[in-house]
A = this chain, B = another copy of it.
Amino acid sequence: MQKGKASLLFEHPAYITAMASIAGKKEGEGPLGQQMDMIEQDPMFGASNWEQAESAMQKQTADLALEKGGIHRRDIRYLFAGDLLGQLIATSFGTVDLEIPLFGLYGACSTMGEAMSLGSMCIDAGHADQVLAMASSHYATAEKQFRFPLAYGNQRPQCAAWTVTGCGAVVLSAKGSENQVRVRGITTGKMVDLGTKDSMNMGAAMAPAAWDTIMQNFEDFGVDESWYDQVITGDLGEVGQKILLDFMKSKGHDLSEKHMDCGLMIFDKEKQDTHSGGSGCGCAAVTLCCHILPRLLDGTWHRILFVPTGALLSTVSYNEGQSIPCIAHAVILECGGDRTK
């Protein structure tokens, strides 16, 4: 059902029937390490270069999600997936062996939200019985793509984030039970560009996009923060979180007690020297699969708004002096009986 300007409320919500998270050594040493399915100690994932490493990680995560769900890949009708690299090479090479019809997506670090949105739409419509939604990032491929060679050892400002090496994958299914997490609705983001130009401060660039999508979600569903147990953004980090909370406050919403950010959960800032927090498609995807979904399943939360945020810049646009357009895609996740009736 269409709700408001940019939201859908699903009549046939997709159930998350399987999930998997694989991450790197540093992420494994962070606060969520114990909750991840697998920590790979080798940053190369057994491959011969960084990009193939990320592809291998995607393949392993997809395989693990299917294995955990006892699902054969032939029973997955569509794959919605993406990564941060130019021309989506981590996904393209990582998913060849799956032989699943693929919709390649680019939403920067919002990709997991985009994949779950399209996947849920597909399930709600009856276009598929089961789909896989997946997103990944790798510290080394991202640094190579967007910043400096690792060996150069450049200094990073305190507002910079640390790209997560990790991949998260969920199976969305038409069949499920009240005890499984369901995608109740979505709010699809539009491009938001307030003119921020500092590529080392993505949190500041993305916060207005998160704010825009969350406000749109509140408006479209006629709700406010009280409807959610938590509003969880993707990778705003410390700087972006502060801006988001300020922006929300300016519109009369106090999110301070209800807001979490995957970028602030996945690393221990003091011990891990990750400055503003974690980032990358993998940040929200891994945190979703290893921490958020389990908290919904164990009843800690009943309903949350998951809002991965993406900064759609490239080194070309950055070097041409352009600003950073951003986007955020929100997904309403619920578990347990419907408490709104």
Interface residues of A (CB under 8 A from B): 2, 5-6, 8, 49, 51-52, 77-78, 82, 84-89, 92-93, 95-96, 98-108, 114, 117-118, 121-122, 124-129, 144-145, 188-193, 312-317, 320, 322, 325, 327
Contact check, B101 vs A314: say whether CB atoms are below 8 A apart.
Answer: no
With a cutoff of 8 Å between Cβ atoms, the chain B residues found around residue A106 in the complex are 82, 87-88, 104-106
Complex alpha-carbon distance, A193 and B128, angstroms:
25
Q: Which residues of B contact A144 (CB under 8 A)?
A: 316
Query: How many copies of this protein are present in the complex?
Result: 2
Task: Using A105-B105, A121-B127 as known contacts, say yes or no to A188 and B82 having CB atoms under 8 A apart.
Answer: no
Residues of B within 8 A of A96 (CB): 191-193, 325
* A103→B312 contact, CB < 8 A: no
Judge whether A312 and B191 touch: CB under 8 Å: no
Q: Tell whether, in the assembled complex, residue A86 and residue B86 are in contact, meaning their CB atoms are under 8 Å apart.
A: yes
Do A49 and B320 touch (CB < 8 A)? yes
- Apart from A87-B312, A105-B106, A121-B122, 17 more pairs, CB < 8 Å: A2-B126, A2-B129, A6-B101, A49-B320, A52-B322, A87-B314, A88-B312, A89-B317, A92-B313, A93-B322, A99-B190, A99-B191, A101-B190, A103-B118, A104-B114, A105-B105, A121-B125
Q: Of all chain B residues, which has the CB nearest A8?
A: B127
Question: Which residue of chain B is the closest to A48 with respect to CB atoms?
Answer: B320
**Bound: A314/B96 CA distance, A:** 16
Contact between B191 and A313 (Cβ–Cβ < 8 Å)?
no
Q: Nearest chain-B residue to A6 (Cβ)?
A: B101
**Closest chain B residue to A86, Cβ basis:** B86
Listed A/B pairs (10) with beta-carbon separation below 8 Å? A2-B127, A6-B77, A52-B320, A87-B314, A89-B313, A92-B312, A96-B192, A102-B191, A103-B114, A104-B312
Q: Which residues of B contact A126 (CB under 8 A)?
A: 2, 125
Contacts of A313 in B (CB 8 A): 87, 89, 92
- Is B121's CB under 8 angstroms from A189's CB? no
Kindly state the separation between the CA atoms of A98 and B190 in the bound complex, as whole angstroms.
9
Is there contact, CB below 8 Å, between A89 and B190? Answer: no
Contacting pair B102 A314 (CB below 8 A):
no
What are the residues of chain B within 8 A of A145 when measuring CB–CB?
86, 316
A129 to B6, CA, bound (A): 12
B residues less than 8 Å from A51 (CB atoms): 316-317, 320
Q: Give the residue among A114, A191, A316 with the most B Cβ atoms within 10 A.
A: A191
Instruction: Kindly state the separation between the CA atoms of A327 and B316 in the bound complex, as whole angstroms.
Output: 26
Contacts of A92 in B (CB 8 A): 191, 312-313, 317, 325, 327
Q: Known interface pairs A89-B313, A317-B93, A320-B49. Does A188 touch B101 (Cβ–Cβ under 8 Å)?
A: yes
Q: Are B327 and A102 in contact (CB under 8 A)?
A: yes
Decide if B124 touches A108 in the complex (CB within 8 Å): no
What is the bound-complex CA distance between A210 and B171, given in angstroms? 28
Residues of B within 8 A of A322 (CB): 52, 89, 93
Closest 8 CB pairs of A and B: A86-B86, A125-B125, A101-B188, A92-B312, A87-B314, A96-B191, A6-B101, A106-B106
**B191 and A95: CB pair below 8 A?**
yes
Residue of B nearest to A312 (CB): B92
